[in-house]
Amino acid sequence: MNHNFPFRALLLGVFGLFSATLFGQFVNFEETWQEFLKNNKISNTSELTRPSKEDKIDYAKYSLMYANSNFCQSRIGESESHLSEIRNIGETTYKTIPGFTERFQDLESKVEAYHKVEGLWKQFLRTRQVNTQVLNSLEDAKTVCEKGTLAKYFYMVAYQNYCDNNIPEAKDNFENRVLKLAERTSLRVSDIEGLEKEVADMKSLFIQLPKVGAAWKTFTTTGTSPGYDDNLPEYPCNPVPNIKACLLRGAADICGAGPAMAHKIRKLQATNPHPLDPV
């Protein structure tokens, strides 16, 4: 009788289980990598086993997937740390991986767009002006997965549309881009400097514009002002709705509110480049 048989059977079973586990991890890693190459996103990085740095090919793949995942979740520092790991591995190694260079360069461009949008946003908050030349050059900012970048970028686009008196385009960019990000995604606008107030003001603006337009139409067709009592947000680059609101208030109460509204209208008109067309 072979007394070693039970031990051998146990050893083979353990070895088989160990091999199956390793193979499963390999398949999962490769499947995840292929998913990333195909869709530029992955379902879940938390299940991935971190490869050894000695295994440069898999470690480069791992670093790129995690760099992308962190960037999409607004963890920019972590993303840039993984990108740095890839640079340390070197192009000679990672260029041998099919599809790697394209994904790596794409992510680098989008991280760069993040920083440019952030700089432009800080300038905008300080000056209340949009550098349209720089903004229009940031094509990558339109397609990043980092929601804060998208929100800031499209808010500045909407703001400039409004300044140019292109109200329909401004409304479309704000409501279908910025507001959806703010109200229907995981983005917390309170985490981004200045954005919470900007979103609240512009949301109020587009709610009130039709009301101002209706009151203005009544005034211009009947000669009688229905007044306008709501607090309309002011945008110095396009004060036309505010001028109309002041005219409506002043005309409805000439002896009371009239003088104050006339003074405010003169201040608004001093920088107004647009005609008083209907809103």
Give the burial string for 91-108 (b: 16+ CB within 10 Å, else e): eeebeebeebeebbeebb
- pTM value? 0.86
Q: Which tokens in the block code for residue 155?
A: 């808010």
Which tens digits make up the pLDDT trace of 174-218?
999 999 999 999 999 999 999 999 999 999 999 999 999 999 999
The domain limits of the chain are 24-98, 111-193, 208-279
Which tens digits make up the pLDDT trace of 108-164?
999 999 999 999 999 999 999 999 999 999 999 999 999 999 999 999 999 999 999
215, 227 Cβ separation under 8 angstroms: yes
252, 215 Cβ separation under 8 angstroms: no
149, 138 Cβ separation under 8 angstroms: no
Burial (Cβ within 10 Å: 0-12, 13-18, ≥19) of residue 131: middle
**How far is the C-alpha of 15 from the C-alpha of 144, rounded, in Å?**
45
Which tens digits make up the pLDDT trace of 98-120?
999 999 999 999 999 999 999 99
Q: Count the Cβ atoms, other than its own, within 10 Å of residue 27.
A: 10
Band of the pLDDT at 3, cuts 50, 70, 90?
low
With 80 as the cut, is the pLDDT of residue 243 above it?
A: yes
Band of the pLDDT at 278, cuts 50, 70, 90?
low
**How far is the C-alpha of 178 from the C-alpha of 195, rounded, in Å?**
10
Which tens digits make up the pLDDT trace of 4-57?
544 454 433 433 433 444 444 454 888 899 999 998 877 666 678 899 999 999
Average pLDDT, the chain: 90
Question: Is 4 or 254 the better-scoring residue by pLDDT?
Answer: 254
Contacts of 147 (CB under 8 A, 6+ apart): 74, 181, 185, 186, 187
Q: In sequence order, which ranges of 100-146 are alpha helices (DSSP H)?
A: 100-127, 132-137
61, 97 Cβ separation under 8 angstroms: yes
- Closest among 145, 227, 234, 228 to 198, alpha carbons compared: 234
With 50 as the cut, is the pLDDT of residue 225 above it?
A: yes
227, 256 Cβ separation under 8 angstroms: no
